[in-house]
Chain A
Amino acid sequence: MLRNPMNRTRTRRLVGLAAAATASVMLAACSGAAAGDQPAGNKDASITVAAGDITAKNFNPFSATALQPTLGVIYEPLYWYNFAKQSDPTPILATGYSWNAAGTELTIKLRHGVKWNDGQPFTAKDVAFTFNLVATTPALNPSGLAATAKATADDTAVLTFKSKSLMQEPAVLANQAIVPEHIWKDIKDPTTNLNENPVGTGPFKLKSFTPQSYVLTKNDQYWEAGKPTIKEVRYLPVQSADAASAALVAGKVDWASAYLPGIDNIMKSNKNLTYINTPAMTTVIVTCANSGLGCTGPQTDPAVRKAIYLAMNREQLAKLAGGGVAGVGSPTLLLPGRDDDWIADAGSAKLPQSADADQANKLLDAAGWTKGSDGVRTKAGKRLSLTVQTVTGWSDYILINDTLKQQLAAVGIELKPSQVSWNEWNAAQTNGKFQLSLDSVGLGASTNPYFTYNSKLATANTAPVGKSASAGNQSRFSNPTVDAALTTAAGTTDKAVQKAEYGKIQTVITDQLPYIPVYVNSMLTEFNTSRANGWPTKDNPYVLPAAWKAWDAGIVLKTITPAG
């Protein structure tokens, strides 16, 4: 073994070199970083919104994968429906509308003085063009619009339907972005065109775009005077609840929609953070209830479904699974509070929050389910054992299952939760190959209960087990009273008549329970108040403030003002 006196010095020199190299790299990188922090205060009147994945530069308002601000912030509809509370439609691009007596002609009066963000004037021709384009292109027509549109004057458009189509009103008035004829008449394929430089009437227009983030800037031609006051809106993708909470606490985003467990604790970490909870969708247990259409299992027995309904301790479910922020639901599948006017029987508007095990036990005994030696009931040799499917990763629903398993065991029902991928869950539910499944209902085309009831309960929207019921009635529910009530309600605009018909539907479903409501999902939206004011608050929830909600986002962005 040879010895080299240079040994130790050499090592030290090498280590020193390495340290120096690392330090210089870090220095170079860090100097690049210091420049990037957001400026304090809001002198430049810009805010940052947490967005979903930026998949492509897609601002095509007809595309299902268009980026978040396309509907509402860049393009506008004729009216805006408020889902936060019952109110009349807010005029946006239209100022009035009326139906003819037969319900086949809709006349729309349009606002004056509106310009497209490229300076061209907005007229009824654009409205007519938009609806004709939709009606003649099946790929762009998810609502099945069957009408022709004409501009009878610069400010009047008339839609003529083939048959009575009163229930098409929300789709036409509030769920269709109006596009400029002078741009779209030259577009060869409106279904796949990315529309990378969107020309709309909305309060903001596109300024710059990269796959990692994009920026909108104020539309100086906007029709509403003095609005918007915010100059720039940046969209930053935030992909998980963890990333959202980190970004919020660090002050990197001003507006985010993320379900954060333990949200009160997280809000404490930054004094400028606040949040609002606007529950809007009801979590239900979808039951494959109709043995006539092929459903099998104990859940086809109405007594079992009613027993599950009664045995639920909803307060515990809301606390443990709903994070303490879930809302109280209604057996009518509507929202207590906002939908009170539509609930026929005010006395039973809200779901019972505690479990009524005695009543549940009595019901099951009366239906012939006797308690076995292992605590699980049986009837004619079959055990009262039910499978409930949930999507992997939906932790709140998984917790509902775990909690429900214990609660139902108290009345002799065995619950077997399973977790599957979204594909599998969706396929099973759509094709009826399930017993129980957790899902949510609500957020139809408008707050009129017709849309929820029609999609979930109408015989026309269901299919036998094995066939796809993609129209919405996965429970295979079929009841002639309900169908008749739906048809009557669809044929009138008289709210009193509609309420009476919905009352009939509500009587049936609170007894039959094809969808067993649990609670109303929280919808948490977090705000940073140091850079903008005027966000929706608990006392003034003027919109459904989810950052992803089409249409409402535009209202929020033109209402808020820069702070400081």
Chain B
Amino acid sequence: MAITTEGPQTATETGSPVAATRRRVPPMTLKLGVGLSIAGLIVLFGLIGPLLVGDPSTVRDIGLTGPGNGFVLGTTQSGQDVFAQLAYATRGSLIIGVVVGAITLLLSSFFGVVGAFVGGWADEAFSLLTNIMLVIPGLPLVIVISSYVPNKSIWLVAAVLAITSWAGSARVLRGFTLSVRSRDYVLAARISGEKRWRILLVEILPNLIPLLASQVVFAVIFAILGEAGLSFLGLGASGSFTWGTMLFYAQNGLALRLGAWWWFAPPGLAIAVFGAALSLINFSIDEIINPKLRSQTRAERNKWSMSRDQRKAATEVSA
């Protein structure tokens, strides 16, 4: 569930387009750096990995063996190379993440932003649709739709996940757009006769970008976790390699009980690490949306070169 950390009032305090541009790109902090590099590494692995490793489906007579003998992460119970599977699985999961992120972006911005901007009956209708989609239970719906389609591919799972999850983002975006719409400079632009689409593109959208980015990142995390959960229940794209299906087969092969940590742990850790990296990126984006978060961190305060006592006094608003 996407949790908005802040209302929309602060991001546009100065209002001028120049300052907005400057603030659109987040300042490089440790958090952002770590997040971007980890996520980047994983994406690289997913893109290039499959080209470098062997065939993940080749069965070998050696059966379940640990790391060594030329297998970086050992083999599964049918002798398949875990490392090769991990590379293909990374690609599969990333595809799902990207597809869900893209579809969520499109649907939520259309139903949220455009609706709120246009106003009138369109806004009412879109809002109604969004609220209804929010109310319909997501996971059970995904389960039933997934079991409806016989041969599930990654694309289908991604589409189903996206369709059931865009509503939350749409609601957040709508709230934000409504508040931005009533700001002075937007009203001024309208009065001065600017075309509606131009207002949307030039005045409103730039302010939305950090929020959109944050929502897309949430969607990607949700997609990857959702797909993992679906695959665990046996309802995912079990014919393809994703982190979730790897875990499904590991669980079916009793990997944990047989002590085959090299099969059970890597996919789970991959999801966790990628998710954490994306969350760190999200934190940094949050700090743009809400500058107050930025100015009060320990790192910031250290820059003020206060003495330890002064810092202690500053920290203890007490309680």
Contacts and interface: CB of A to CB of B under 8 A. Distances in A.
Q: Which 10 A-B pairs have the closest CB atoms?
A: A4-B318, A424-B150, A320-B78, A395-B252, A393-B234, A420-B150, A262-B258, A392-B238, A403-B59, A419-B239
Nearest to B231: A392
Given A246-B257, A260-B254, A406-B59, A392 B79 contact: no
A346 interface: no
A421 B147 CA distance: 7
A395 B61 contact: no
Interface string A309-322: 00000001001110
B3 interface: no
Given A242-B254, A262-B258, A393-B234, 12 more contacts: A3-B313, A4-B318, A7-B318, A261-B252, A262-B64, A402-B59, A402-B80, A403-B78, A405-B57, A417-B239, A421-B147, A421-B150
A228 B252 CA distance: 37
Interface size range of chain B in the complex: 20 to 34
B175 interface: no
Nearest to B239: A419
Contacts of B59: 316, 320, 399, 402-403, 406
B5 interface: no
Interface string A1-41: 11110010010000000000000000000000000000000
A268 B77 CA distance: 18
Interface in B182-235: 234-235
23 contacts: A1-B317, A3-B316, A7-B319, A242-B256, A260-B254, A261-B254, A262-B64, A262-B253, A320-B59, A320-B77, A320-B78, A321-B78, A392-B238, A393-B234, A399-B78, A405-B57, A406-B58, A419-B238, A419-B239, A420-B151, A421-B147, A424-B150, A428-B150
A43 to B, nearest CB: 31
Interface string B44-80: 0000000000000111010110000000000001111
A403 B239 CA distance: 15
Nearest to B315: A1
A241 B314 contact: no
Interface of A: 1-4, 7, 10, 241-242, 245-246, 260-262, 265-266, 316, 319-321, 323, 392-393, 395, 398-399, 402-403, 405-406, 417-421, 423-424, 428
Contact of B151 (A1, A10, A418): A418
A395 B63 contact: no
B179 interface: no
B10 interface: no
Contacts of B258: 261-262, 265-266
B61 A316 contact: yes
Contact of A261 (B58, B234, B253): B253
A4 B316 CA distance: 8
Contacts of B79: 320
B283 interface: no
Contacts of A241: 252, 254
A321 B61 CA distance: 10
A319 B316 contact: no
Q: Give the secondary structure class of A's interface.
A: helix
Residue of B63, B150, B239, B259 with most partner-chain A CB within 10 A: B150
Residue of A3, A262, A402 with most partner-chain B CB within 10 A: A262
Given A241-B252, A266-B257, A402-B78, A1 B313 contact: yes
A321 B316 CA distance: 64
Interface in B276-319: 313-319
Contact of A393 (B78, B150, B151, B252): B252
A33 to B, nearest CB: 23
B249 interface: yes
A268 to B, nearest CB: 11
Contacts of A395: 249, 252-253
A156 to B, nearest CB: 53
Contacts of A398: 238
Nearest to B62: A320
A420 B156 CA distance: 13
Nearest to B233: A393
Contacts of B238: 392-393, 398, 419
Contacts of A323: 77
Nearest to A399: B78
B78 A3 contact: no
Contacts of B314: 1
A508 B256 CA distance: 47
Nearest to A5: B318
Contacts of A320: 59, 61, 63, 77-79
Contacts of B259: 265
A423 B319 contact: no
Contacts of B235: 392
